[in-house]
Structure 1
């Protein structure tokens, strides 16, 4: 079977079943798993499938970007583990910029109370997690608050974030891939995240395994700009190998 025929078959199976997985496709199509992954990458770039952990789903099955409440209830154990692992990476940082996201908010809630920290954020949940904490000086960056994610976006936000140079920036992302780097579905958030990514002497990305290998609408940072990625044990081993080969330190919680 030639590659175009195989790819058409993969799309047909995904539309019929709602999802395909790499291992099953490799066995049934009699090809290597890496061949299937390349096919899925091609099909994602063509806008036919969306990569997910271990396989892909047809774009027709995708829903709108979930709200904060919906995302907060997903993969809670993994997100808690990621937050704990990320806390250990902050070392002696005194200025920390924290992006929006349900995992980054968990990290904010774990910040120590026995040392002086300056926290800067454009995310309301992150600000709420640290606003009354002893020892933490909070700077909340304003702008147009996006209701779906409760983060500020727009020119005010981007200008303020673009003026910073912090010890550590902690980023969230909807998608993390070697090819396109860090991605998000919203144009406004992408601009804010782009400024965030440039604001840190060290950049740490928190992303559970469902984000690894995904590719959303807008790219806001290259994979080379990431110093450390913290994810969970559910991530595909081959994707971890790709990230490591790209120079990213990967911490698996």
Structure 2
């Protein structure tokens, strides 16, 4: 296929990431090619598993309908997550109160924060809690650690639920670092789990600044439960640049998208 054809296919994916679905008619108008050409592009993109064709157009591929376990998430996109975590850690200053959400990306931040002075951590993540206590016991970290307790989700090694929400309402933090399951320009950030999403809403409400950590696999995805609109967040840190179709909306909503180095 010609370079122009590849560029058109990239544009289709950008549009798909923006809206979650595309229609053949709008692609014909946008790309100024025939409907037969559009159908061929969609067939080729489906063969590459980059979208799923449906009547009248295509939708974004979404392989999972439930949140993967913590152990599965640990090995998925591990290098990308470490880069995201290192970049996100650079946003933390001395003497701050920092909320670390559950998730493998947020937990990767902790080793990069040992040089900060007088930090206070709040978390719902059992692995993050264990790591922080280990750092304390080894004399690598001397700050404070608070665990938000509640209903335990063993599969994900985290606490959620009404008790956790009530406990969190009395904490105010400088920065909340959130892990998510999906991010879309129109829909916002989302989670597979309603209880986790409700608690994340509290994280956002009680933070001076909210930073979302996401790898490329979650971009353009809308999962079961909406956490917040993008305008309620301040920064997104990802391993890739934002889709071109999102740029004006991100600017209008005041979201700073940072590409991890």
Q: Please tell me the TM-score bracket, short chain as reference.
A: 0.7 to 0.9
Q: Which residue of 2 aligns with 1:102?
A: 104
User: Per-residue CA shift, 1:96-123, capped at 9, x if unaligned?
Assistant: 1111111001012322245111101111
| Superimposed CA distance per residue, residues 41-66 of structure 1 (whole angstroms, 9 cap, x where no aligned partner) | 378xxxxxxxxx9645556x535321
Distance in 2, Cα, partners of 1:132 & 1:86: 22
* Runs of 5+ unmatched residues, structure 1: 1-22, 44-52
Residue 207 (1) aligns with residue 214 (2): yes
Q: Does 1:249 align with 2:256?
A: yes
Per the alignment, residue 245 of structure 2 pairs with: 238
Q: Is the 8 A contact 1:213 1:239 kept in 2?
A: no
Per-residue CA deviation, residues 105-145 of structure 1 (Å, 9 max, x unaligned), is 10123222451111011111111221132222111111111
Partner residue, 1:120: 122
Aligned residue for 1:47? none
- TM-score, reference length from structure 2: 0.74
- Structure 1 37/212 Cα, relative in aligned 2: closer, same or farther at 3 Å? closer
CA-atom RMSD, angstroms?
Answer: 2.8
Distance 2:199 2:12 in 1: 40
Q: Say if 1:33 and 1:216 are closer, same or farther in 2 by CA, change over 3 A.
A: closer
> Structure 1 pair 39/230, CA: closer, same or farther in 2 (3 Å)?
closer
Q: CA deviation at 1:236?
A: 3.6
| Larger RCO, structures 1/2 (Cα 8 Å, 6+ apart) | 2
Which structure 2 segments of 5+ residues have no match?
24-48, 52-58, 136-140
- Aligned partners of 1:172 and 1:206 also within 8 Å: yes
Q: Which structure has the bigger radius of gyration? A: 2
- Confirm or deny: 8 A CA contact 1:54 1:236 kept in the other structure: no
How far apart are the structure 1 equivalents of 2:215 and 2:99?
20
Shift of 1:24: 7.2
User: After superposition, where does 1:140-151 map in structure 2 within 5 Å?
Assistant: 140-151=147-158
Residues paired across the two proteins, number: 218
Distance, in Å, in 2 between the alignment partners of 1:38 and 1:71 is 24
CA distance in 2, matches of 1:211, 1:229: 12
Asked whether the 8 Å contact 1:212–1:239 carries over to 2, the reply is no
Normalising by structure 1, we get a TM-score of: 0.76
